């Protein structure tokens, strides 16, 4: 009898709030046959670009998959840039992204079989919530920390407040019509 190694699905995402660059968060959810093996939101610090946060979500998820002994992995991201770079369809001249690309490819080489595919944000909601929560709360988070909280709405509120506070003042302000 041949026993196949489990096929895992990794959803990962990154977030930079309230602007890009900003406070970075990465999130991932690793599952096998619908059962979650690992999930986390990782706070990455200040001054991180959204693309760097996306790569960090991928790296954290791949490291978790390796710790769980996964050999066959299907990765879903909502970052076209990261997907195209990892699949060698695009190139970048940015040194920091080249470093992330190299690390991701090194980690992927440890798996017997892997695919990295783009999926829309609506198919990546758990990883998105974990990444946004880590960036918003500025700490590492678990799925229990985000359960019942709408971090998408929190991010929108934070962004609207951020930009509202930066509107022109004084003579540059538009006149309000009564």
Cα dihedral 133, 135, 140, 142, rounded to 10, equals: 20
Answer for the pair 106, 55: CB distance below 8 angstroms, yes or no: no
How far is residue 170's CA from residue 108's CA, in Å, rounded to a whole number? 54
**Residue 70 is assigned to a structural domain of this protein:** yes
User: pLDDT band at residue 4, thresholds of 50, 70 and 90?
Assistant: low
Which pLDDT score is estimated for 71? 95
Give the β-pairing of 7-17 and 72-77: parallel
Q: CATH code at 66?
A: 3.30.420.10
Burial of 125 (0-12, 13-18, 19+ CB in 10 A): middle
- Residue 172 DSSP label: G
How far is residue 24's CA from residue 51's CA, in Å, rounded to a whole number? 10
Which pLDDT score is estimated for 152? 59
Structurally, the chain folds into a number of domains equal to: 1
Give the β-pairing of 7-17 and 22-32: antiparallel
Which pLDDT score is estimated for 149? 74
**Residue 133 is assigned to a structural domain of this protein:** yes
Answer for the pair 97, 85: CB distance below 8 angstroms, yes or no: yes
Mean local confidence (pLDDT), 72-85: 97
- For the chain, the average pLDDT equals 86
Closest CA to 70 of 80, 62, 78: 62
Which pLDDT score is estimated for 2? 47
**Residue 100 is assigned to a structural domain of this protein:** yes
pLDDT in tens, 132-178: 999 999 999 999 888 877 765 555 555 555 444 444 444 544 444 54
Burial of 168 (0-12, 13-18, 19+ CB in 10 A): exposed
**Residue 111 is assigned to a structural domain of this protein:** yes
**Residue 173 is assigned to a structural domain of this protein:** no
User: pLDDT band at residue 6, thresholds of 50, 70 and 90?
Assistant: confident
User: pLDDT band at residue 99, thresholds of 50, 70 and 90?
Assistant: very high
- Predicted TM-score (pTM) of the model is 0.83
């Amino acid at each position: 009898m041949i026993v196949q190694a489990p096929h895992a699905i990794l959803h990962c995402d990154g977030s930079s709030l309230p602007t890009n660059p900003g406070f970075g968060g990465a999130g991932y959810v690793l599952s096998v046959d619908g059962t979650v093996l690992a999930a986390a939101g990782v706070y990455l610090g200040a001054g991180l670009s959204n693309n760097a946060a996306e790569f960090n979500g991928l790296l954290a998820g791949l490291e978790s998959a390796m710790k769980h002994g996964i050999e066959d992995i299907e990765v879903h991201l909502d970052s076209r840039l990261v997907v195209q770079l990892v699949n060698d369809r695009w190139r970048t001249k940015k040194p920091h992204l080249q470093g992330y690309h190299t690390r991701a490819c090194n980690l992927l080489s440890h798996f017997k079989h892997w695919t990295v595919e783009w999926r829309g944000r609506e198919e990546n909601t758990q990883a998105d919530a974990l990444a946004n929560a880590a960036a918003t709360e500025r700490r590492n988070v678990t799925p229990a920390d985000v359960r019942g909280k709408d971090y998408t709405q929190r991010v929108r509120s934070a962004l609207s407040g951020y930009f509202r506070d930066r509107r022109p003042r004084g003579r540059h302000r538009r006149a309000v019509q009564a």
